[in-house]
Amino acid sequence: MTLPPSVPGPSIVWLRNDLRLADNPALTAAIERGGPVEVVFIHDEVSDGIRPLGGAAKWWLHHSLERLSARVARLGGSLVLRRGGAHDVMRDLIRETGATAVFWNRRYGGAERSLDAAIKDYARASGLDAHSFQANLLVEPWTIATGAGNPYTVFTPFWKAFLARPEPPRAPLPAPPAIPGLPSDVSPLASDNLDSWNLLPRNPDWSAGLVARWKVGEQAAHEQLDSFIADRLSRYADGRDLPAEFATSELSPHLRFGEISPFQVFDRVDAVRQNASAETARNAAKFMAEIGWREFSYNLLFHWPELATQNFDRRFDGFPWAPSSTPALTAWQEGRTGVPLVDAGMRELWQTGYMHNRVRMVVASFLIKNLLIDWRVGEEWFWDTLVDADPASNAASWQWVAGCGADAAPYFRVFNPVLQAEKFDPKRTYLRRYLGDFDGADALDYPTPIVDLANARTQALEAFAEVSGLPRDIAPPTGFSPQ
């Protein structure tokens, strides 16, 4: 391709978990540079250490790419889809386009960082400009540390340090008015057919509940944020623990795929906080702290890349887990444990690709501390079935419940699913939503519990005390709720 001398050569914008046009620093930088811009997405399941997406996340990715492609086309560009190892694919794209620059927004997993660094080295050695940008976290993990210069491993001081930073998070960037494509006399780049990636479930197609539950894409993400601020934020702090109430933001899948950025969410909610009544400001501050938990989880992933596979607290390496391939595990996965709140949560997950966060903690605690099944088994199941399966939050949260993570719930804190249901779903609204005309655990057609909760708790405490070196007779706290 030949361009006038005054026009920079083509730029490649490589999208990953940032499937949006607004507040996309890599896209903005490429357009401001001048010259044609090629927007690409590489579906990489083969590079070393890259974790393939689970089924529910693939469903979301398909629809998100579909909508993003249409938005890019409306601005005059095109979204090029390629599949394969990112290093090889990017090398091909550079050659095919004659690109002189490549831009992307940063990722924070260990394998992803290594891959990105290798591609940046290749591009620069080939004479290209190669730049990465902060787009998906409010604070870069290497810029926030304790007084001793170490990464934070406890959330509260991490969040206090974040709030004490002299500069607030930057303002979100606007969407570009246009994306300059290749000249009309140049053949467009070859692009995979999205359907050929087989991201959607078939034989059987289990996605009907996801289709009914979710709207996907950048526009839907902002509509969800608008709805949350208008209808839910004012009752968030207390309502967020009630699974029957629609009081949470439900932005997690949009954030996971970058259809909306944390800068956009933080900016909107902080503006409400500064101009609201004291009660609404309290709710806004609580929600902003939950965005902080996402930041904290990525801080952990950056410094401990094996977060999804290795105990943060290595004392747990010798824990006597039960065999993972058991009827009990199958019952848990299918929502047939005979414990109503656990079963309702697991059925919500299977039907919608989502689960209320309070219930996520309950079902995780049941698997780990009542069935004594390795937290990694649960993390993998959530990775496959959640539309918001996030590499940092999913792993950090499972380790938190297990008691082996950073700032974790102590091992002796065992969620009692019966008491949790009584406290947070007293009218059984959530239970009936997913268990049907439910009238208690003694209903004729409801299964008998697969485990005695009290006995299982005692066994769990003994096992956890063994590996932790702590006394076995520690009394559990009452009214436990996480930070």
**What is the DSSP code string of 123-176?**
HHHTT-EEEEE--S-SS-GGG---TTSPPP-SHHHHHHHHHT-SSPPPPPPPPP
129, 35 contact by CB (below 8 A) = no
Tens digit of each residue's pLDDT (9 = 90 or more) over 395-447 = 999 999 999 999 877 777 789 999 999 999 999 999 999 999 766 545 556 88
Residue 439 pLDDT: 61
pLDDT of residue 440: 54
Instruction: Enumerate domains of the chain plus CATH numbers.
Output: 1-135 (3.40.50.620), 137-169+217-303 (1.25.40.80), 314-468 (1.10.579.10)
Contacts of 264 (CB under 8 A, 6+ apart): 22, 23, 172, 222, 225
Query: What pLDDT does residue 138 have?
Result: 98
**Distance between CA 316 and CA 82 in Å, rounded?**
41
Q: What pLDDT does 438 receive? A: 63
Q: For residues 60 and 54, is the Cβ–Cβ distance under 8 A?
A: no
Q: What is the pTM of this model?
A: 0.94
Which residues are annotated as catalytic?
290, 293, 321, 357, 375, 398
Residue-level pLDDT at 472 = 40
Contact yes or no for 364/378 (Cβ under 8 A): yes
User: How far is residue 12 from each of residues 30, 46, 89, 296, measured CA to CA in Å?
Assistant: 8, 21, 12, 31
What is the reported pLDDT for 7? 61
> What's the DSSP call for residue 469?
T
* CA geometry: angle 17, 21, 27, nearest 5 deg: 80
CB atoms within 10 A of CB 444: 5
Q: Are 431 and 425 in contact (CB under 8 A)?
A: yes
Ranges of residues in the chain whose predicted pLDDT is under 50: 1-2, 4, 441, 470-483
